[in-house]
Chain A
Amino acid sequence: MSSVHIPSAAVAPGSNGNLAKVGVAALFVLALVAPFGLYPIFLMKALCFALFAAAFNLLLGYGGLLSFGHAAFFGGAAYIAAHTVKVWGFPPELGIIAGTAFAALLGVVFGWLAIRRQGIYFAMVTLALSQMLYFVALEAKFTHGEDGIQAVPRGHFLGFLDLGDTYSMYYFVLAICVLAFWLIYRTIHSPFGQVLKAIRENEPRAISLGYRVDQYKLLAFTLSAALAGLAGSTKAIVFQLASLTDVDWRMSGQVVLMTLVGGVGTVFGPVVGAFILVTMENYLAEFGSWVTVIQGAIFVVCVLTFRKGVVGEIAALVRRGKGEQPSEGGGHH
């Protein structure tokens, strides 16, 4: 088998359902008041990456497919959103929709090619395909090479809410993220999500049960790509910029790392992972390339000893505290 094993107890809310609900409510309240205590731009960046990581996790954590090319959707959408808003004069919400639609379309094409292979092959193919988009972004005229698309106006949401105001922008981003997280949560717990998990656990069996596995995979891939695109377009509006960083393969690596640190296949894991890494990047900026070294070290530590991630480990602790059988995570099967 070539999928990453996910401790199934961490996936379903199970006996921790109420706890999770309280957690969600607390998080939401925290998100509402956060910009009064924390730097709003930082929060928006973290939110965009949290959404990006959650979209990625939908594919890896629930579909068992490790894509190493998600930067293509994130960055490609960012370019489309920035271009439509800046050059074509789209309002921000339309620009974001355009970016997301582009990412979804790209997802269909890349997904159609990539799901022909599995596991490590799948990872390589997605990586190579996303690098193709990188070179398109490098050569195309409208992306402006190394400069990127700069000074994208934030504009007015629905024509009246001025997103130039930092707080309006923040709540706009928060609303997008909450909606998207809700969509992801519903997807995971829908029949579609259940079939996806069945495929992840045992693909031949799912086939023999009559599921058209490829269609499920392609749909999951497209959804994940679209949501990654939503994150990318939103980031382009927040930072008023779309650049090569967004489509670089290192960006694909970053989102893998965020998900891994937070906990693959957990609902909150990617969010936690994104906040940890964005915080780290912010405060370590003055150390230049040490950031790369530290990120690499985290990768190694996560793979060798910490495969459940922060949220996964905490979930395991909670279960152990309740006297339940600790589940063996990240194992071979």
Chain B
Amino acid sequence: MIPLLGIPPQVLFGQLLLGLINGAFYAMLSLGLAVIFGLLNIINFAHGALYMMGAFAAWLMLDHLGIGYWPALILSPLLIGAFGVILEKTFLHRIYKLDHLYGLLLTFGLALIIEGLFRNYYGVSGQAYDAVPDLLKGGNNLGFMFLPTYRGWVVVASLIICFGTWFAIERTKLGSYLRAATENPKLVQAFGINVPRMITLTYGFGVALAAMAGVLAAPIYHVSPLMGSDIIIVVFAVVVIGGMGSIVGAVISGFGLGIIEGMTKVFYPEASNTVIFVVMAIVLLVKPAGLFGKAA
């Protein structure tokens, strides 16, 4: 093949594809954050920790109960989502009357506790999760690179999840209640809809999304207590860029920034970790509310 700008195409396409895969995780995580922020107005700092718990739940199910990948992909989000419901009932719902900043501080504290407890019991070195089903094993030679089937599956799964969530919120009746409650909770309550329960379930759903991303990540990365805090700050930047609370913004900027990060790895690898934050600074200058956000 012909080199492009002095870069062999297999390197360029390879890094772009890897960027897309990373972007799939950014999108799923920022999607959950956006759903939670939309209704609760809380930036869920514990999101990374819950993502990590999702991966751990899958690993524990395999290790102790022999439950495989496909059931874990459903069970783990349910379990961690239920845990999220408990968190909301015991902690978060006490502070809705306070300033939203307290929500950030509270979830930050929760993240520290969860991460610390897992570090105590499992160390940091991580556990291998070897339960990739045969269907997703192996890989394909795409000519420019060898793509493991599982990584391809991650992108597909992420797209399905993102579209499904968008559809549920923007195109269904339940979603319309949700959006209405975001705009005017008192009015929706007056129509006889149980808004507090809706808030609780929304938080649980956002958490379940994080957990599902965790299960998808488990076979690729080591299941480690630190896996959440490694990724969460980047996801925060993604959310700021997309516009906080915007579902479409979260998904598009998630994938988009993954690709931008991959490109940077080709042309200027040293900057690949900083590029997302540079993009954020530029977006803030041009559109302070983010690409898809409503003006504050």
Cβ-defined contact, A124 with B284, below 8 A: no
Cβ-defined contact, A304 with B94, below 8 A: yes
Of the residues A131, A256, A304, A331, contact of B237 by C-beta under 8 Å: A131
Of the residues A121, A139, A295, A298, contact of B273 by C-beta under 8 Å: A139
Within 8 A of A (CB), among B77-113: 91, 94-95, 97-106, 108-113
The 8 A CB mask of A242-265 against B (1 = contact, 0 = none) is: 000000010001001000100000
Complex CA–CA separation, A249 to B45 (angstroms): 12
Cβ-defined contact, B106 with A303, below 8 A: yes
Asked if B270 CB lies within 8 Å of chain A CBs, one says yes
Cβ-defined contact, B95 with A132, below 8 A: no
Cβ-defined contact, B296 with A124, below 8 A: no
Cβ-defined contact, A292 with B119, below 8 A: yes
Complex CA–CA separation, A116 to B277 (angstroms): 16
Within 8 A of A (CB), among B229-245: 233-234, 236-237, 239-240, 244
Stretch at the interface among A1-9, A75-83, A97-105: A1-9
Within 8 A of A (CB), among B1-47: 41, 43
Cβ-defined contact, B95 with A3, below 8 A: no
Asked if A27 CB lies within 8 Å of chain B CBs, one says no
Across the interface, which residues of B come within 8 angstroms of A295, CB to CB?
109, 112, 116
Asked if A117 CB lies within 8 Å of chain B CBs, one says yes
Cβ-defined contact, B99 with A296, below 8 A: no
Cβ-defined contact, A121 with B244, below 8 A: yes
Complex CA–CA separation, A2 to B277 (angstroms): 24
Cβ-defined contact, A330 with B98, below 8 A: yes
Of the residues B43, B91, B114, B270, contact of A124 by C-beta under 8 Å: B43
Asked if A128 CB lies within 8 Å of chain B CBs, one says yes
Cβ-defined contact, B91 with A119, below 8 A: no
Cβ-defined contact, A124 with B105, below 8 A: no
Asked if A240 CB lies within 8 Å of chain B CBs, one says no
Cβ-defined contact, B273 with A138, below 8 A: yes
Of the residues A66, A132, A307, contact of B274 by C-beta under 8 Å: A132
Within 8 A of B (CB), among A258-299: 260, 288-299
Complex CA–CA separation, A331 to B102 (angstroms): 11
Across the interface, which residues of A come within 8 angstroms of B108, CB to CB?
253, 256, 296, 299
Cβ-defined contact, B99 with A300, below 8 A: no
Of the residues A127, A139, A289, A332, contact of B99 by C-beta under 8 Å: A332
Number of interface residues of B (CB under 8 A): 46
Across the interface, which residues of B come within 8 angstroms of A331, CB to CB?
98
Across the interface, which residues of A come within 8 angstroms of B117, CB to CB?
293
The 8 A CB mask of A294-333 against B (1 = contact, 0 = none) is: 1111111011100100000000000000000000001110
Across the interface, which residues of B come within 8 angstroms of A174, CB to CB?
none
> Which residue of chain B has the shortest Cβ distance to A128 in the bound complex?
B237
Complex CA–CA separation, A298 to B109 (angstroms): 8
Complex CA–CA separation, A116 to B101 (angstroms): 17
Cβ-defined contact, B101 with A289, below 8 A: no
Of the residues B104, B119, B239, B285, contact of A123 by C-beta under 8 Å: B104
| Given A117-B284, A124-B236, also A303-B109 (CB < 8 A) | yes
Complex CA–CA separation, A95 to B237 (angstroms): 33
Across the interface, which residues of A come within 8 angstroms of B98, CB to CB?
307, 330-332
Across the interface, which residues of A come within 8 angstroms of B100, CB to CB?
2, 119-120
| Given A121-B244, A123-B104, A249-B233, also A296-B95 (CB < 8 A) | no
The 8 A CB mask of B107-135 against A (1 = contact, 0 = none) is: 01111111111011000000000000000
Across the interface, which residues of B come within 8 angstroms of A127, CB to CB?
233, 236
Shortest distance from the beta carbon of B233 to any chain A beta carbon, whole Å: 5
Across the interface, which residues of B come within 8 angstroms of A294, CB to CB?
116
| Given A292-B112, A293-B116, A297-B109, also A128-B99 (CB < 8 A) | no
Asked if B207 CB lies within 8 Å of chain A CBs, one says no
Asked if B278 CB lies within 8 Å of chain A CBs, one says yes
Asked if A161 CB lies within 8 Å of chain B CBs, one says no
Cβ-defined contact, A128 with B240, below 8 A: yes
Cβ-defined contact, A303 with B119, below 8 A: no
Shortest distance from the beta carbon of A147 to any chain B beta carbon, whole Å: 18
Across the interface, which residues of B come within 8 angstroms of A298, CB to CB?
109
Asked if B281 CB lies within 8 Å of chain A CBs, one says yes
Complex CA–CA separation, A31 to B112 (angstroms): 33
Shortest distance from the beta carbon of B112 to any chain A beta carbon, whole Å: 3
Across the interface, which residues of A come within 8 angstroms of B233, CB to CB?
127-128, 131, 249
Cβ-defined contact, A304 with B120, below 8 A: no
Shortest distance from the beta carbon of A207 to any chain B beta carbon, whole Å: 15
Across the interface, which residues of B come within 8 angstroms of A292, CB to CB?
112-113, 115-116, 119
Complex CA–CA separation, A139 to B277 (angstroms): 15
Asked if A68 CB lies within 8 Å of chain B CBs, one says yes
Within 8 A of A (CB), among B260-281: 270-271, 273-274, 277-278, 280-281
Complex CA–CA separation, A86 to B278 (angstroms): 30
Given contacts A128-B280, A296-B115, A302-B109, 5 further A-B contacts (CB under 8 A): A120-B43, A123-B104, A125-B280, A131-B277, A253-B112
Pick 5 A–B contacts, CB within 8 A, sort by A.
A3-B101, A121-B240, A128-B280, A131-B233, A135-B274
Q: Which residue numbers of A lie inside 8 Å of B, CB to CB?
A: 1-5, 66, 68, 113, 116-121, 123-125, 127-129, 131-132, 135-136, 138-139, 249, 253, 256, 260, 288-300, 302-304, 307, 330-332
Across chains A and B, which 5 residue pairs bring their CB atoms closest together, nearest first?
A299-B109, A296-B112, A292-B116, A132-B277, A293-B116
